[in-house]
Every structure is written in C-alpha cells, then in structure tokens.
C-alpha cells in the first residue's frame, strides 16, 4: 500500500463527518434522531435565485469553463451588496474574488501567505478548519483563548505581551462562531492597529452577519483596514444556499492577486448558473432578511426553552444561527451530548470540538423546524 502523506498525521477527519455517520446508523436502525447539531439551512433560497439558475441553462456560455475571477456581473453585485449593507467601497475589478464557499478561502488564503513554520493566531473556541488547514500546510497554530468573562472577544493587550515574531496571520470571526458574540467598534479598530504594529494579516470570517443580527459589521469599513485585513463572506447562511458553495474574499488588490494565484491553479471557475443565482440573491431587498429572521426568531425562542429544560444558561444578546449554552456545573460536553443522543435521540454539538475553551458548553443549531424543536422539548420534559 502506498503510504499516506505525513500531513494527514497532523489532522483528524472533521468531527461532523464522523459523527453524522454515527447518527445516520442510528436513524437507519429506527431511532427518531432530531439533528440540532449542524448549521445547514433547511429553508429554501429566494425564488428569484431558483429562477435564475433555471433560466441560465439555455445560455450559450452556461456549460463552458468560466473565468477564475467569476463573472464581472457577480463581482459588481458583491461590491454593491457590501456598499449597501456594510458601507464598504470596493472595486469589482481588483478587490473581490468569488469563491466556491468561504471554507475554500481558508485554504487559499493560508496557501497564499504562509510558509512552513509560520505561526497563525487561532481563536479558542473557533471554527476547527482554521487549525486543520494551518497544520496541513505546515504552519503552526498559536491559539488565543476567548471566554465569557471578556464577552468572547480577544484580549489584544495580552496578545501583545506574547512572542509574535513568527506570527503572520490571525483568524477572527465576528459575529463569532460558535458563541454568537458580536465585535465592538473598538475591537475592529484595535485589531487593525495590532495587525499594522506586528505585520500580521487579520482575516475576519463573516458568514453570519444577517442572521438575527440587527447591526451587521465588516472589518473593512474601519480606517486603515485594507492595509492589513481581508474578509471572507458567504451566501450559505444569508440566503440558504449552503450547497451551492458561493463565497467571497474581499480586500486590497495586492492580497486578492496573491489568492488568485492559488485559486486559479485549483479550479476552473464556478458554474455559470450558480453565479447567475448568486447575483439575484445579492439583489434581495431587506424584506428577505426580515422574513428569514422572523423564522429564526421563533426557532431561537424554542431552543432557549429547550436549553432551559436541560438546565443550561445562555446569552440572549448573542446573534447568528446557533445558541451557545453553558452546561450545569461539573458536566462534560461530550459526555452530555452522548447521553442526550442515547436517551432522548437528540443530537447537539459539544463545545469541545471548537477548542478546549468550549468544555462545559454545547451548541444548538436553529436549522430545524419548530415542530422538531417542540418535539425535543417534549422529550426532555
């Protein structure tokens, strides 16, 4: 047998990839599992998005290779969206690059800017892919702890006191996944100053701006951001298009050019019809966000009831697609969710998959309908 790359020794299979196989086996054996673990929207995209992809099929260019940079109409739609929703001005020619999902962008950015041995500041708790990609390209994760005592925001002054000589990149994600914490204006300004002072590229991963969040923010709006910042964004959560795989990276042209060098060697362009659908999504009015959030608000109130029934506590001011809940004292996250799965056929995510700072927490997804959540409450009560 051909030996595997040593890089695979540094990472494990993604938690949800493994756990969902276990859940699937239980369901196949007749267990009535309700999945509140995954942030995969169960609602439909806007109808004009579906219409656009259907209409695109007869276009003479529909089935050809597409531009590595995406259709100019898509890039224009992205920049108009950023101007309207975040008050950020960007050039559609040089400062935006469509991606096949923002998760893809984590790899592209890392490959474009990191060398073997470079260090990367990664939030704990945070999205597990930041660390796994860092390891795969032989850079070194340098975790910084977040806690409820500091509203799940990084302590910039504490970071300044550490050895940052090898740090080249810092991942942040606000609104924060998994906790739902929001960045303050001060935090974004401090991050920009921190990046400039230590020559660190700051990347804000920002896919949850419009889910139950009355004040969407982009780090690129703040003075001097383009000098040291990039932002990732996605249509997955905002427009219920997770399976379509449409994301974007935005920032100064010098950074976008470097990322394009990586991307253009890894794919042959996004399918034409998906780009046309994305364009229509980005044109949606504020009524779309209001209607979407109306559904999520009802679900969140039910999940709060479920969390309370499990004797968990939570922050009602958190935003996004999840409810991050603190377990009762002395409970361990993975033991708790395994017991819940076994006894009540309810699957939720343990906080520990997001880092050691997630011990003692669980995460509920809002991507299940009200009847399913009510059934969970009934099983607990």
Residue 200 near residue 164 (C-beta atoms within 8 A): yes
What pLDDT is stored for residue 14 in this prediction?
A: 66
Residue 236 near residue 41 (C-beta atoms within 8 A): yes
What pLDDT is stored for residue 121 in this prediction?
A: 98
Residue 208 near residue 175 (C-beta atoms within 8 A): yes
Residue 138 near residue 191 (C-beta atoms within 8 A): no
Alpha helices, DSSP H only, in 269-332? 272-282, 286-309
Which has the closest alpha carbon to 210: 179, 233, 186? 233
Q: DSSP class of residue 354?
A: G
What pLDDT is stored for residue 97 in this prediction?
A: 98
Q: By CB neighbour count within 10 A (0-12 exposed, 13-18 middle, 19+ buried), where does 274 fall?
A: buried
Residues 6+ away with beta carbon under 8 Å from 197: 160
What pLDDT is stored for residue 175 in this prediction?
A: 96
What pLDDT is stored for residue 183 in this prediction?
A: 96
Determine the distance from the C-alpha atom of residue 6 to the mean position of all C-alpha atoms in its chain, rounded to a whole number.
28
Query: Phi-psi category of 211—alpha, beta or left, where left has phi over 0 and alpha has psi -120 to 50?
Result: beta
Containing H/E element for 133? helix 128-136
Residues 6+ away with beta carbon under 8 Å from 78: 90, 92, 96, 98, 248, 250, 282
What pLDDT is stored for residue 268 in this prediction?
A: 86
Q: By CB neighbour count within 10 A (0-12 exposed, 13-18 middle, 19+ buried), where does 87 fall?
A: exposed
What pLDDT is stored for residue 217 in this prediction?
A: 96
pLDDT below 70 — which residues of the chain? 11-16
What pLDDT is stored for residue 13 in this prediction?
A: 67
Q: Copy the structure tokens of residue 20.
A: 């969902």
Residue 105 near residue 233 (C-beta atoms within 8 A): no
- The DSSP bridge pattern shows strands 34-35 and 346-347 to be parallel
Q: By CB neighbour count within 10 A (0-12 exposed, 13-18 middle, 19+ buried), where does 126 fall?
A: buried
What pLDDT is stored for residue 22 in this prediction?
A: 77
SS3 annotation, 233-282: EECCCCCCCHHHCCEEEEECHHHHHHHHHHHCCCCCCCCHHHHHHHHHHH
Alpha helices, DSSP H only, in 8-127? 15-28, 47-56, 72-86, 102-113
What pLDDT is stored for residue 27 in this prediction?
A: 82
Residue 62 near residue 272 (C-beta atoms within 8 A): yes
């Amino acid at each position: 047998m051909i030996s595997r790359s040593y890089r695979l020794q540094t990472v494990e299979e993604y938690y949800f990839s493994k756990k969902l196989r276990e859940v699937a086996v239980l369901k196949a054996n007749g267990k009535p599992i309700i999945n509140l673990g995954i942030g995969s929207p169960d609602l439909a995209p806007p109808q004009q998005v579906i219409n656009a992809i259907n209409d695109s099929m007869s276009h003479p260019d529909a089935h050809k290779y597409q531009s590595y940079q995406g259709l100019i109409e898509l890039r224009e739609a992205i920049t108009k969206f950023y101007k309207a929703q975040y008050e950020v001005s960007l050039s559609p020619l040089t400062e935006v690059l469509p991606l096949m999902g923002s998760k893809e962008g984590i790899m592209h950015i890392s490959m474009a800017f990191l060398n073997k041995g470079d260090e990367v500041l990664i939030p704990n708790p945070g999205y597990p892919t930041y660390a796994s990609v860092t390891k795969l390209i032989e850079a070194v994760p340098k975790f910084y702890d977040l806690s409820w005592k500091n509203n799940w925001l990084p302590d910039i002054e504490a970071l300044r006191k550490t050895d940052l000589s090898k740090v080249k990149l810092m991942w942040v994600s606000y609104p924060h996944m998994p906790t739902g914490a929001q960045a303050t204006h001060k935090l974004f300004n401090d991050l920009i100053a921190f990046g400039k002072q230590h020559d660190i590229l700051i990347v804000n991963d920002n896919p949850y701006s419009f889910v139950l969040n009355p004040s969407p923010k982009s780090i690129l709006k703040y003075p001097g951001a383009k000098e040291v910042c990039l932002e990732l964004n996605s249509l997955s959560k905002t427009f219920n298009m997770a399976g379509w795989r449409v994301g974007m990276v935005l920032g100064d042209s010098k950074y976008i050019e470097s990322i394009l060098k990586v991307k253009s060697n890894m794919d042959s362009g996004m399918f034409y019809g998906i780009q046309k659908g994305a364009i229509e999504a980005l044109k949606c009015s504020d009524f779309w966000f209001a209607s979407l959030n109306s559904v999520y608000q009802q679900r969140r109130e039910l999940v709060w009831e479920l969390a309370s029934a499990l004797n968990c506590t939570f922050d009602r001011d958190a935003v996004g697609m999840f409810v991050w809940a603190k377990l009762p004292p002395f409970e361990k996250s993975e033991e708790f969710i395994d017991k819940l799965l076994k006894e009540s056929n309810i699957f939720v995510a343990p906080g520990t998959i997001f880092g050691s700072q997630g011990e003692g927490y669980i995460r509920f997804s809002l991507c299940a309908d009200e009847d399913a959540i009510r059934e969970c409450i009934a099983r607990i009560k």
